[in-house]
Amino acid sequence: MNDPLKTGGSGLLDELYREIILDHYRRPRNHDPLKTPTCSADGANPLCGDTIHLEVGLDDHTIEDIAFAGAGCSISQASASMMTEYVKGRTVEEARKGAEAFQQMMTTGETQDLEGFDDIDALQGVSKFPARVKCASLAWKTLEQALEGGGVASTEEGETSHD
């Protein structure tokens, strides 16, 4: 029997995913600057013009707080909002595993079976559009850069740098 949520290319599931993405874009979570960030990084997608500034507040090896500011398309900003919700309260190792799982989803197009990845799975369809994958990946690459000590992350190969 067919799942009524998945019927057709523009079924109810696709509509739900669009709504989740637009909700995160219109009402981004964790958008207020942190008072005392432990580390930060900036990210840029030169092809699309997306930018992000990410601040992370670490306590021991746990991401106690995280915030982003940025400008760009709905996919890049929604992905940043979703990423901050996912990593907040998780260990650095869990956050890195989440970033790896996200990149795998963007490469394979398969949703990831990680606790707390529910909204993030809404970005799965982006994997069909290589230029948009960079938009969705920007926040995750910037998170990895921040956790490595800061600097600038880029969606273009070889353009990541440390300050």
For the chain (163 residues), the mean pLDDT of every run of 10, in chain order, is: 40 85 97 96 94 97 98 97 98 96 94 85 93 96 95 73 49
Structure tokens at 154: 């880029």
DSSP 3-state assignment of 12? helix
Q: In the prediction, which pLDDT does 3 show?
A: 35
Q: Structure tokens of 146?
A: 């921040």
Judged by DSSP in three states, 91 sits in strand
Residue-level pLDDT at 74? 95
User: What CA dihedral angle connects 85, 87, 88 and 91, to 10 degrees?
Assistant: 170
What pLDDT sits at residue 157?
A: 64
* Every domain of the chain and the residues it spans: 4-154
4-154 in CATH: which number? 3.90.1010.10
Cα-flanking dihedrals φ and ψ of residue 148, to 5°? -85, 0
